[in-house]
Amino acid sequence: MRSDASSARVVVKIGTSSLISAGAPDPAKLSTLADAVLRLHRDGRRPVLLASGAIALGTARVPPSARQSPASRQLAAAVGQGMLFEAFRRTLAERGLTAAQVLLTPLDVTCPEHGESVRAVLETCLGAGLVPVVNENDTVMVRNNDVLAALLAAALGAERLVLLTDVPGLYESDPRRDTDARRIPEVRALTPEIERLAGAAAGGVGTGGMAAKLCAAWIATLAGVPTVIAGADAEDAVVRAVRGADVGTLVHARARDKRPDLRRLWHALSAPPAARLRGGPDVPRLVADGAPLTAGHLHGLGEPFAADDVVDVLGPDGRVVARGRTGVGAAQLDGAAADLTVIHHTQYISLLEE
Residue 1 belongs to a domain: no
- The string of pLDDT tens digits covering residues 84-139 is 999 999 999 999 999 999 999 999 999 988 889 999 999 999 999 999 999 988 88
Average pLDDT over residues 313-324: 96
Decide if pLDDT at 5 tops 60: no
Shared-domain flag, residues 174 and 323: no
Residue 250 lies in a domain: yes
Same domain as 193, residue 315: no
**CA Rg, the chain, in Å?**
21
Q: Say which CATH number the domain at 36 has.
A: 3.40.1160.10
State which of 205, 234, 262 marks the end of a domain: 262
CATH number at 333 reads 2.30.130.10
161 and 46 co-located in one domain: yes
On whether both 234 and 297 belong to a single domain, the answer is: no
Which domain covers residue 317, as residue numbers? 273-350
Residues 280 and 320 in one domain: yes
Instruction: Report yes or no on 337 lying in a domain.
Output: yes
Q: Which run of H or E residues covers position 34? A: helix 27-43
Rounded Cα distance, 247 and 235, in Å: 9
| Segment 199-244, tens digit of pLDDT | 543 333 334 478 889 999 999 999 999 999 999 988 899 999 999 9
Measured CA to CA, the distance from residue 88 to residue 91 in angstroms comes to 5
Nearest to 43 by CA among 14, 8, 13: 8
Statement to judge: residues 50 and 196 lie in one domain = yes
Domain co-membership, 235 together with 308: no
Tell whether 267 is covered by a domain: no
> Which among 220, 237, 262 is the end of a domain?
262
Counting beta carbons within 10 angstroms of the beta carbon of residue 301, is it exposed (0 to 12), middle (13 to 18) or buried (19 or more)?
exposed
Same domain, yes or no, for 256 and 277? Answer: no
Nearest-angstrom CA–CA distance, 138 and 208: 13
The reply to whether 268 falls in a domain is: no
Looking at the structure, tell me whether residues 174 and 298 fall in a common domain. Answer: no
Q: In terms of Cα–Cα distance, which of 282, 295, 288 is closest to 341?
A: 295
Q: How many domains does the chain have?
A: 2
